[in-house]
Structure 1
Amino acid sequence: MSTATRETSIQNYLHTTDKIRDKVQGLSEELLLWQPGPGKWSINEIVGHLLDSNIVNSYRIRKIISEPVTPIVTFAHESWVSQQQFNDTSVDEMLTAYEALAVYNGILLKKLNEEQWLRYGLKGEEKISIAHIIDSFICNHVEKHMGQIERNLAAWGNRN
């Protein structure tokens, strides 16, 4: 992977905080906590899930650079969301934690040498690189959930 491509991946990752913040900033607490249906996540729960995902992916990156060819850990995201009571945590607190973790990870990612950058973990038989974690497991995942927030906003507007 070229240095420019790597830097683009890192910058895209660092901008995920802004994407999330821009999407939820100025929304009422009522809207942030509203669930569009049974078993559907509120916007607060979506942000909490993205924070959890960032934590898990931070761990995955560290495992890969420290323990090459390590299994990729998974997590039961539905259970994590249901048990953590994200609707009792302010979206601002979650965004502060998300941003701090992203900045800290950015510092680490910028220090990796080429050999470390090319290491991978295994998801079954599939090789998962650090670049894949950043680009797919984090950046694309955030984009997916920005769409989910948009659907919540549309459902909120159509609820009457």
Structure 2
Amino acid sequence: MSTTRTDSIENYLQTATKIRNSVQGLSEDQLLWKPGPAKWSINEIVGHLVDSNIVNSYRIRKIISEPVSPLATFAHNEWTSQQRFNETELDEILAVYDAITRYNALLLRKLNEEQWLSVGMKLDEPISIAHIIDRFICNHVQEHLGQIERNLTAYRAR
């Protein structure tokens, strides 16, 4: 079953709710705890999802304005470590994610079908806006929700 553009946008908007629900009621210790030296805390995971949302926002705008251009990449581990998300209140990080998501949804709803299917290039692979929303954002958030759950399981087992 294929996903419609309306479904994709709604799924994208729901990522903010899913992230918020996954961290609701957690203590500061749970949010800042890391399961290992090279692992991310829950605050860092959510911060990374903000960064990813920002990068994908740029990609979407580049695709509709400069079709078939190379997609921007980012060094996610370095971005996360340099921003010191553990020194930022989670509510502030979540507010940024919410705002970016709502802002992007405004744009996504205005795109015509040709724009929605426009592509940028990831190496030799054409990537559409639909792909960015469904795979690079929605699936990516789902993967990191699993990471949040694994962090909580490890935290409880320590």
TM over 0.5: yes
Query: Which residue of the partner structure matches residue 144 of structure 1?
Result: 143
Separation (CA, whole Å) in 2 of partners of 1:122 and 1:75: 15
Tell me the TM-score normalized by structure 1. Answer: 0.96
Separation (CA, whole Å) in 2 of partners of 1:58 and 1:13: 12
What is the deviation of 1:114?
Answer: 1.1
What is the deviation of 1:79?
Answer: 0.2
What is the deviation of 1:104?
Answer: 0.5
Query: Which residue of the partner structure matches residue 48 of structure 2?
Result: 49
Separation (CA, whole Å) in 1 of partners of 2:86 and 2:37: 15
Query: Which residue of the partner structure matches residue 131 of structure 1?
Result: 130
Separation (CA, whole Å) in 1 of partners of 2:117 and 2:4: 13
Query: Which residue of the partner structure matches residue 67 of structure 1?
Result: 66
Deviations 1:55-95 (A, max 9, x none): 00000000000000010110000000010000001111011
Query: Which residue of the partner structure matches residue 35 of structure 2?
Result: 36
Separation (CA, whole Å) in 2 of partners of 1:119 and 1:29: 42
Q: For 2:4, what is the secondary structure of its paired residue?
A: helix
Query: Which residue of the partner structure matches residue 86 of structure 2?
Result: 87
Separation (CA, whole Å) in 1 of partners of 2:133 and 2:66: 18
Tell me the TM-score normalized by structure 2. Answer: 0.98
Query: Which residue of the partner structure matches residue 20 of structure 1?
Result: 19
Q: Which runs of 4+ in 1 moved over 3 A?
A: none
Count of residue correspondences: 157
Give 2:21's aligned amino acid: D
Separation (CA, whole Å) in 1 of partners of 2:143 and 2:71: 21
Give 1:23's aligned amino acid: S
Give 2:74's aligned amino acid: F
Separation (CA, whole Å) in 1 of partners of 2:117 and 2:155: 44
Give 1:122's aligned amino acid: M
Matches within 5 A, 1:105-124: 105-124=104-123
Query: Percent identical across equivalent pairs?
Result: 69
